[in-house]
Amino acid sequence: MSAAPEHDDANAPDALREGRMKLVFALRSRGVTDARVLDAIERTPRELFLDRAFRDRALEDVALPIACGQTISQPSIVGLMTQALEVTPRCKVLEVGCGSGYQAAVLARLARRVYTIERHRPLARRARALLERELDLHNVTVIAGDGASGLPAQAPFDRIILTCAAEDTPSELLAQLRVGGVMVLPVGQSDEIQQLIRIRRTPEGLDYQDLAPVRFVPLLEGMAEDPDEG
């Protein structure tokens, strides 16, 4: 497997380089300390994953709206979730909730292979184009599909991450996690009270760990209606 391409920061404007450095310092202060994760975030241009109206806020540690009524997570949450996932270069990762593709791009710089599922076809099309054409990341497969069902044909996975909140731990996805694998996801029955958790599948069973309070869009079954069809 060829390595993920380096983001050419040397040719970036001084203000952009300085902004990326400030973001990394901010992530460190919020608990993201894994050097590989910080490097992956620093080399992933978040502005590419935002609509033009929000690109000047790409280096702020805030969630921002994207198409189809969805959001791109704040970088510190992306960092904390990626760090908790403990991705190694040999990992095959499943992401549920591709969105604009930003989290998948970060994961692609850390993992052997990433499969990411998005129920909104327009988002999946745009994320696929960004990852392949703009960033030349060819170890990511973007799938327009029902993320709640996972991807049984490619299971088991070494790591599974959800960027949408399940009401309870999704058994169908857990069944696709390899023994020794890790799943990170937000869980909660409302958008007001959610908890980010990490689940390890051990030979003896499942080990649960609470990580942080969070707020994500809900995990929904089925495909979203495509406005370009019909």
**Residue 133: what residue type?**
R
Phi, psi of 48 (to 5 degrees): -65, -25
Which residue pairs from 2-9 have beta carbons closer than 8 angstroms and sit at least 24 positions apart in sequence? Answer: 2/138, 4/108, 4/109, 4/137, 4/139, 5/135, 5/136, 5/137, 6/43, 7/42, 7/43, 7/44, 7/45, 7/135, 9/42, 9/43
Q: What does the DSSP 8-state code read for residue 134?
A: I
The one catalytic residue among 73, 100, 171, 190: 73
Known active-site residue 29: no
206, 200 Cβ separation under 8 angstroms? yes
Q: Which of 116, 168, 125, 183 is nearest to 147 (CA)?
A: 116
Question: Which tokens sit at 132?
Answer: 């392949």
Question: Which tokens sit at 182?
Answer: 């890790």
146, burial (CB in 10 Å: exposed 0-12, middle 13-18, buried 19+): middle
| Catalytic positions, written as ranges | 73
